[in-house]
Structure 1
Amino acid sequence: MEEPYIKSKSSKKKKKKAQTVDETRDCLTELPDPLLHLILSYLTMKEVIRASVLAKRWRYIWLSITCLKFSPMKKQKYKEVGFINRTLLLHKGPKIQKFDITFDYNGAHAHQVDSWIHFAIARDVNELYLDFPCKRRHRYELPTFIFSCKSLTVLTLKNCIINFPTNFNLISLKILSLEGIYLIGGAINDLISSSPILEYLSLTNCESRTDLNLFIFKASMKTLKIHESYTWNSDSKLDVYAPFVVSFELVTSLSRKNYVIKELRSLESASFDCDGMPGLKFNEDDRRRTIVQILDEVCHVKELRLCSCYILALSSGEGQDFITFAVTCLRIKTGLTKWELTGIDYMLKHSPNIETLIISIDKNEGKKEPNFLNLLGNLKTVKLYNFMSDLDVHTSTKTEELLEKLQNEMNFLRFLLKNSKVLEKLIITTCKGVDFGKSESKKLKLMFLLTQELLSFPRASRDAQISFS
């Protein structure tokens, strides 16, 4: 009678031992090398080397990692340089997929930095990210041999000096991003024309004391981004001719004397913002004309993103009645001021195909009931971002007072619901910066009152659904 009991006890011991073995297995160490390399590629080299002590198998795997990322270290410069030198010296991998280095350059160690870049290029690097934040007089000068790297597909250069060579050999380059680079004459065009499969070009705060002329006639070029918060020469001109570009983004203070945007016939998406520029004033006729001319060149796009300056330029309605927009998705950054509402009025009147309207509230001044024509026959989706962005819950003690401060936005929502006959979704996203502190009850009461008021608005579409997020 005791035999079954003995067998049962023995089987329990075996089962418990098997469970213990399973629990002690290290699943990470059993992963294949390519997957381990992928996991480690999200870490800096300092973090990768620290992680090598987690498992015996990991001890030397970092020596063949294909993605190397170096970030600034909180130690003396010569120690940081020594760490990078030793890491690259010990690396055994024959191929580098991605080489990413951010190094606070102080005018010294130029030869060391050159050797790091040469290390990556000698191993047929595909993606190269170089950032050298420094004082203006200590900028690092990039070696020209980088422009002969046939394996490069992605090249990002920040805060350095480039002396463009006469010949380029970037035959595999698809993505080029330049930030804080001094551009000389037509060198950038030479670089573009010598990159046969270039698809993406981004220029951010690149210095140019002369005109910046971008003549891009390559069929492969699909995305062009230009960001400039200042211009060294206010008499300079920006010329853009890009017949094959599909997506165009221009962020500028409009401080140049002239802007010529032409031949964007393949354009499908355009975005315009005025970085660092105060609100457009009614007496700034030159800027108004510039904005209207730019919008006239992109009126055929399907997706359009505009900041308040561009909306204000349309508010007068003088001289631009001939512009009709083909846009189906319109994104606007606005304060819903009485002046901007006039510009929005113009956009909606002259955009008969609009289906999606996305509004991000920048700042809110004044109150005015919208009085747009009933031309929203195709509008299906409205998204309102930064709702309650101007709300100061600490200066108003009563919920009703807070609700009163939101009437400008509420009037606009009333108009949309009343005049959008095929509206399907109204999505309202509240601003994350609104701090109710410990007044959680005030927040709940305010949201309740807002919801009640929204539900009381007349709707042209019975299918319209309202949601907060």
Structure 2
Amino acid sequence: MWRILILSASSLYELPHSICKCRSSTNLSLRYCDIKFPAMVHLTSLKTLLLEWVALSPDTFRHLISNCPLLEELSLLGCNQSSDLDIYVENEHLKSLKIYECGREDLNGTEMRVYAPNVISLELGYFLTRSSYCIKNLSSIKYAGFVDPTDVSGYDYCEQDESADSVKILGDLCHVQELKIYSAFIQLLSMREVQMLAPWPINAKCLALEAKITKWELPGIAYLLKNPSKLETLNIELLPDRKELSVLDDDFKCKYDFDKRDYWRSKELEFSSLLQNLKTVKIYELLSNYHPYSDVDNDLKKLENLIELVRFMLRNSKA
């Protein structure tokens, strides 16, 4: 009896129908396959499902998922690379949904729609290249993470014509209790901040940032912190030098340039009462790039933005 089954190939293959009758399988991974399900699918013990680089019509996806009554974790990597991706899941046991997409021009003009009312945890790793990302129903969600897809899938970053509109999906997730955001997404939020676009009312009590705290991340961080905030805990994970990524073009930076040294001082009035619930700030991996013979002055210079941010939060926190 199969408990864990992984099917993978270097080229597209047709999924054997016998796989759909493995009643005892608890984990199933399908990669690079042409999925044509039989009328009867019996994956009654399946708890974890990974679909990678497969194309799924809405009907095919629903047919598969509806016949996995015990499904708890669903992950999709690079699916529907040239068409809309509709994720409709009503399974009562599904608690974790992970969606990773690559930066391909084929995605332009396509949409992603998510309907998963029982999901508690949503993780999105994507390069914001679809025309629209829409949350239809995630009424039970408590955690949402926008993560670097290269960490998970190995995809290389592909420059696209990204805009501040690409991050509107965050507005659909403003009710989560815990929110995690990575550097490229923070920079896109910087676009909204410097253009003085209205912030979404984020209600997260815990905010985690994966960032370098570079100049063009500062407005994005301000954008997240200036919401009518219930924020109690801020976790900052400093990315190593090799992970530095710039997604804003030079013309935009020139048009909206600012002095990073005075940035937080210029925000004092805006934040006079917005961080009143902040109690804990945690910073990780400060020494990830440490070398015993490194230039201490240079290392401290790299941390200037972070030090100013911490000082700013200390001055404006009331807790």
Letter matched to residue 346 of structure 1: Y
3-state SS in 1 of match to 2:285: strand
Mapped to 2, the partners of 1:401 and 1:230 lie a distance apart of: 34
- CA offsets, 1:79-137, max 9 Å, x none? xxxxxxxxxxxxxxxxxxxxxxxxxxxxxxxxxxxxxxxxxxxx3x3x21314353x3x
In structure 2, stretches of 5+ residues that fail to align are: 150-155, 247-258
**Which position in structure 1 is the counterpart of 2:184?**
309
Matches within 5 A, 1:97-112: none
**Which position in structure 1 is the counterpart of 2:215?**
338
2:112 touches 2:134 (CA, 8 Å); kept in 1? Answer: yes
Mapped to 2, the partners of 1:224 and 1:415 lie a distance apart of: 36
Offset of residue 401 of structure 1: 4.2
1:323 aligns with 2:216: no
**Which position in structure 1 is the counterpart of 2:237?**
360
1:153 touches 1:174 (CA, 8 Å); kept in 2? Answer: yes
Q: 1:384 to 1:190 in 2, by over 3 A?
A: same
Offset of residue 279 of structure 1: 8.1
Please give the TM-score of this superposition, normalised by the length of structure 1.
0.55
**Which position in structure 2 is the counterpart of 1:215?**
88
3-state SS in 1 of match to 2:221: helix
Mapped to 1, the partners of 2:158 and 2:317 lie a distance apart of: 33
2:118 touches 2:138 (CA, 8 Å); kept in 1? Answer: yes
Mapped to 1, the partners of 2:4 and 2:211 lie a distance apart of: 38
Offset of residue 149 of structure 1: 1.9
**Which position in structure 2 is the counterpart of 1:20?**
none
Q: 1:333 to 1:368 in 2, by over 3 A?
A: farther
- CA offsets, 1:133-157, max 9 Å, x none? 53x3xx4443111111222232223
Between the two proteins, what is the percent identity of the paired residues? 36
3-state SS in 2 of match to 1:224: strand
3-state SS in 1 of match to 2:176: coil
Q: Which has the higher helix share?
A: 1
- Root-mean-square deviation (CA, aligned residues, Å) is 2.9
**Which position in structure 1 is the counterpart of 2:65?**
192
Offset of residue 274 of structure 1: 5.1
Offset of residue 384 of structure 1: 1.4
**Which position in structure 1 is the counterpart of 2:175?**
300
3-state SS in 1 of match to 2:236: strand
3-state SS in 2 of match to 1:332: strand
Mapped to 2, the partners of 1:257 and 1:323 lie a distance apart of: 20
**Which position in structure 2 is the counterpart of 1:51?**
none
* Bigger CA radius of gyration: 1
Choose between structure 1 and 2 for higher RCO, CA contacts under 8 A separated by at least 6 residues.
2
2:175 touches 2:203 (CA, 8 Å); kept in 1? Answer: yes
Q: 1:418 to 1:235 in 2, by over 3 A?
A: same
Mapped to 2, the partners of 1:170 and 1:154 lie a distance apart of: 10
3-state SS in 1 of match to 2:261: coil
**Which position in structure 1 is the counterpart of 2:165?**
289
**Which position in structure 1 is the counterpart of 2:251?**
none
Matches within 5 A, 1:31-110: none
Letter matched to residue 325 of structure 1: I
Letter matched to residue 335 of structure 1: K
Q: How many residues align?
A: 288
Of 124, 143, 146, the residue aligned with 1:250 is 124
Letter matched to residue 167 of structure 1: M
Q: 1:185 to 1:173 in 2, by over 3 A?
A: same
Mapped to 2, the partners of 1:319 and 1:192 lie a distance apart of: 42
**Which position in structure 2 is the counterpart of 1:379?**
278
In structure 1, stretches of 5+ residues that fail to align are: 1-122, 423-469
Offset of residue 402 of structure 1: 3.5
2:118 touches 2:139 (CA, 8 Å); kept in 1? Answer: yes
